[in-house]
């Protein structure tokens, strides 16, 4: 069997889960990761290149001809066209090109796509001028949701309970341009109530295959209190999203989205992430992402039985219809252990001690080795995943493992999977 070397772009918990899944493929040779982290370095070779260094990444591939696949995991290089660049230089890549990654990079684009294709979502208006936006806020119902167009590191969404709050959020985006976009614009949308579910799916632009549904926990503290974060934990599958809901969403959301993108000359190939709200009057799309979610991936990929490398190649070659994707049938819970202060400012270089974790898997997100010791290097430091027969079983195992892990000054939520 011919083995191939692989390069994974990224260096967080999600990339650790991707590298880990790929490393189980009998066809995987050496796996490289850029910029990687201390945990990924235990199973792959770390490459000291930033995800934004397209030139450096292409040069690295030119000098490593055995690398036959590059997996681009994070949103920014996808939106900025790393896959386009790699393909132009003759390299095979997994992930959407920039013209398809726009489905995440521009909320305005995503909302127009949904409107034009009758895909259920919150009612909205988009503005690039502050005056009309503020006038609109005077007439609208509250709470209302203000979203910055463009990638905003998970900080672009504000749920506003009053006119004053909404006006401030709009002015920060349009007048102060706090997210530094070339042409700042905002989407102001109706507040939806319900339970959220994340559905990640493989698609080759024609066929779409959904992974088990998962639920993220976005707030920093127990009981869904505190500021929004990149995600403090997840479980999969979500028992609240039924098979019937999945069938409905396939017909009314997933397939129409992928078809519309192809018809617009923006064929989406890679992983598409549907952030859904299960509302009283049906399922609606909150957001699209153009990639695997973090930390959802750390709960979903451990359940995958099929070779991830086979799936990724089928996506690239547009023969996803020929592959049967199997899942273990277990439930996984992942709990994020974060640096004290996250998602605000935090110190790096704090000691990380990992003891006996039983059968759990510890995915590294923000870790590094300093003076021979494992230390923190980011806001989210570890994601501890346990598998079990159901959520309570997996939860118990994950929290038992966490008792034997210590991050100086760090914290984690104790209620992942409780609600």
Q: Which residues bind ligand GLY (CB under 6 A)?
A: 216, 230-231, 289, 293-294, 296
Of ligand AMP, ligand GLY, none, which one sits near residue 192, judging by CB under 5 to 8 A according to partner kind? ligand AMP
Residue 148 near ligand AMP by CB under 6 A: no
Of ligand AMP, ligand GLY, none, which one sits near residue 400, judging by CB under 5 to 8 A according to partner kind? none
Of ligand GLY, ligand AMP, none, which one sits near residue 294, judging by CB under 5 to 8 A according to partner kind? ligand GLY
Q: How many residues does the chain have?
A: 419
Residue 122 near ligand AMP by CB under 6 A: yes
Q: Smallest distance, Å, CB 230 to ligand AMP?
A: 10
Residue 157 near ligand AMP by CB under 6 A: yes
Residue 100 near ligand AMP by CB under 6 A: no
Of ligand GLY, ligand AMP, none, which one sits near residue 10, judging by CB under 5 to 8 A according to partner kind? none
Of ligand AMP, ligand GLY, none, which one sits near residue 293, judging by CB under 5 to 8 A according to partner kind? ligand GLY
Residue 287 near ligand AMP by CB under 6 A: yes
Binding residues for ligand AMP restricted to 167-206, rule: CB under 6 A: 189-192, 196
Residue 150 near ligand AMP by CB under 6 A: no
How far apart are the C-alpha atoms of 80 and 99, rounded to whole Å? Answer: 9
Q: Which is nearer to ligand GLY, 37 or 289 (CB)?
A: 289
The residues of the shown chain that bind ligand AMP, judged by CB under 6 A, are 122, 145, 147, 157, 159, 189-192, 196, 218, 275, 286-287
């Amino acid at each position: 069997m011919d083995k191939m070397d692989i390069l994974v772009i990224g260096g967080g918990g999600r990339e650790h889960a991707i590298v880990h899944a790929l490393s189980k493929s009998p066809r995987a040779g050496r796996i490289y990761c850029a910029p990687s982290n201390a945990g990924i370095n235990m199973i792959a070779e770390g490459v000291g290149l930033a995800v934004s260094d397209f030139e450096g990444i292409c040069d690295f591939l030119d000098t490593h001809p055995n690398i036959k696949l590059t997996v681009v995991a994070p949103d920014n290089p996808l939106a900025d066209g790393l896959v386009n660049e790699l393909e132009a230089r003759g390299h095979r890549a997994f992930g959407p090109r920039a013209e398809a990654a726009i489905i995440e990079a521009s909320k305005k684009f995503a909302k127009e796509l949904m409107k034009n294709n009758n895909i259920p979502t919150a009612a909205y208006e988009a503005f690039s001028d502050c005056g009309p936006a503020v006038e609109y806020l005077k007439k609208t119902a509250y709470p209302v949701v203000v979203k910055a167009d463009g990638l905003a590191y998970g900080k672009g969404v504000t749920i506003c309970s009053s006119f004053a709050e909404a006006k401030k959020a709009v002015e920060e985006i349009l007048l102060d341009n706090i997210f530094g976009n070339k042409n700042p614009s905002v989407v102001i949308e109706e507040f939806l109530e319900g339970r959220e579910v994340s559905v990640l799916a493989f698609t080759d632009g024609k066929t779409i295959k959904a992974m088990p549904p998962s639920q993220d926990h976005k707030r920093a503290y127990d009981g869904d209190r505190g500021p929004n974060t990149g995600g403090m934990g997840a479980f999969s599958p979500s028992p609240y999203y039924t098979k019937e809901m999945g069938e409905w969403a396939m017909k009314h959301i997933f397939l129409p989205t992928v078809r519309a993108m192809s018809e617009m000359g923006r064929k989406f190939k890679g992983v598409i992430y549907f952030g859904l709200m299960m509302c009283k009057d049906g399922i609606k799309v909150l957001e699209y992402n153009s990639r695997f979610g973090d930390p959802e991936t750390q709960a979903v990929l451990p359940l995958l039985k099929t070779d991830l490398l086979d799936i990724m190649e089928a996506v690239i070659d547009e023969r996803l219809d020929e592959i049967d994707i199997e899942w273990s049938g277990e439930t996984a819970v992942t709990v994020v252990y974060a640096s004290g202060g996250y998602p605000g400012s935090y110190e790096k270089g704090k000691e990380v001690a990992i003891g006996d974790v039983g059968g759990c898997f510890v995915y590294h997100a923000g870790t590094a080795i300093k003076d021979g010791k494992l230390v923190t290097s980011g806001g989210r430091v570890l994601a501890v995943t346990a598998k079990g027969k159901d959520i309570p079983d997996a939860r118990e195992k994950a929290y038992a493992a966490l008792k034997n892990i210590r991050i100086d000054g760090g914290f984690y939520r104790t209620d992942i999977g409780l609600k």
